[in-house]
Amino acid sequence: MSFGARIRIRLGALQHNFSLLKDAAGGARICAVIKANAFGHGLLAVVRGLPETDSFAVARLSEARMLRDNGIEKPVVLLAGVMSADDLQVALQLDCELVVHDRPQLELLEASGPGAATVWLKVDTGMHRLGIDPSDASSYLARLRACRAVREVRLMSHLANADNTADPMTTRQLQSFNRVTADFAGDISVANSAAILGWREACGLTSADTSRIWVRPGIALYGISPFPKRRGADLGLRPVMQFESHLIAVKPVRKGDAVGYGGTWKAHHDTIIGIVSAGYGDGYPRFLPSGTPILVNGRRVPLVGIVSMDMLAVDLGPGAPDQPADTVILWGDELPAEEVAACAGTIAYQLICGVTHRETSEIIPA
């Protein structure tokens, strides 16, 4: 048995979160966002754990290829589209749905031979990342419809601040999107996890007919809250990833002893230090500070000192009963990734995407 860091992926939790989001989406179709190796969970495990999704969304052509190479036949959306004629041909061969967010991408399609692509025209309603100006939408739609490579055109946009349910920016973005889609008969998509859970009505998910709406949940599928002040469990979600390892050493230190590189943490009293087989090489970030909670034998203890590449230290406390080989949970059930992320002023998205799977991860079926 290996005592190194590993992740457990609970497909039962994934299915639970999917059902919760499907209910919240009120009949809209689901495009499961699985970019960045399914937010660090492992692309194929997650894909196989989502048999009921209507489509998948990825950021890279290589991810789309991996799905097709593994026999996945569902629609796959390439969220940023393609940048070259060569990539366009590959994407068409892989039968990807393409995002078009600027003029060069439109021109690549116009220059392409015949095909049967579904194209998502992305409109920038205020995030100012990707997307065309809303006032250009009708000319883009007409030109896309005239392309031999295009079979169907749809409209999408992305929300910048939906995680703040009081932010008027989202209302402005949705109004802009509604104007663009008002006299458009095709499929449309705007909602990410935060919008599905926090802006249902504004996104049309409570309306009688949601048949042309697609939603694009990412983070919530993995059981993590998209809202900064709430945890997944507050929303009824269950964490899919458990990141865990083991103690590999337990040792007493005296008051005043420094622990780890740079000696940034010193014992305030005689205590027992546990050394955990997990470090930034596994994706436990070096920027997590002393005091970050870690679960040892179900007990919360603080990280102490600087995280090393393969190891980190915790203060087990005077008289601690813990032994080498005991289990350590870095985040998961009982210790939400949201809470760990907050210790370093970041978001759980960054933590879960960063795990490196140095050890074979374990996939727990539903």
Ligand X SMILES: *Cc1c(COP(=O)(O)O)cnc(C)c1O
State the minimum distance, in angstroms, from the CB of residue 314 to ligand X.
Answer: 30
Q: Which is nearer to ligand X, 101 or 246 (CB)?
A: 101
Q: Does 200 bind ligand X (CB under 6 A)?
A: no
Where does 128-187 show beta strands of DSSP type E?
150-156
Residue 188 neighbours by CB under 8 Å, 6+ apart:
154, 155, 156, 177, 181, 212, 213, 214
Looking at residue 358, its amino acid is R
Does 158 participate in binding ligand X (rule CB under 6 A)? Answer: yes
- Shortest Cβ distance from residue 103 to ligand X (Å)? 19
* Contacts of residue 306, Cβ cutoff 8 Å, sequence gap at least 6: 260, 261, 262, 264, 286
Question: Considering the complex, what minimum distance in angstroms separates the CB of residue 250 from ligand X?
Answer: 39
Strands (E), the chain: 6-10, 29-33, 55-58, 76-78, 96-100, 117-122, 150-156, 188-191, 213-215, 241-253, 258-259, 265-266, 271-276, 293-296, 299-304, 312-315, 327-331, 362-364
Q: Give CA–CA dist 328/299, Å, rounded.
A: 9
Active site residue 35: yes
Is 352 near ligand X (CB under 6 A)?
no
- Is residue 140 part of the annotated active site? The answer reads no
Catalytic residue, chosen from 229, 255, 261, 266, is: 261
> Binding to ligand X by residue 216, rule CB under 6 A?
yes
- Closest residue to ligand X, based on beta-carbon distance: 218
Measured from the CB of residue 301, what is the shortest distance to ligand X in angstroms? 31
CB nearer ligand X, residue 35 or residue 68 = 35
Q: Which amino acid is at 22?
A: K
Q: Cβ of residue 255: shortest distance to ligand X, in angstroms?
A: 46
Binds ligand X by CB under 6 A, chosen from 193, 225, 277, 361:
193
Among 13, 30, 33, 34, binds ligand X (CB under 6 A): 33
**Helix runs in 8-152, H state only:** 11-24, 35-39, 43-48, 61-69, 85-93, 103-111, 137-145
The answer to whether 79 contacts ligand X (rule: CB under 6 A) is: yes
Q: Where does this chain touch ligand X (CB under 6 A) — which range of 61-69, 191-199, 202-210, 354-362?
A: 191-199
- Using CB under 6 A as the criterion, which residues of the chain lie in contact with ligand X when the complex forms? 33, 35, 79, 158, 192-194, 216-220, 226
Hey, which residues are catalytic here? 35, 261
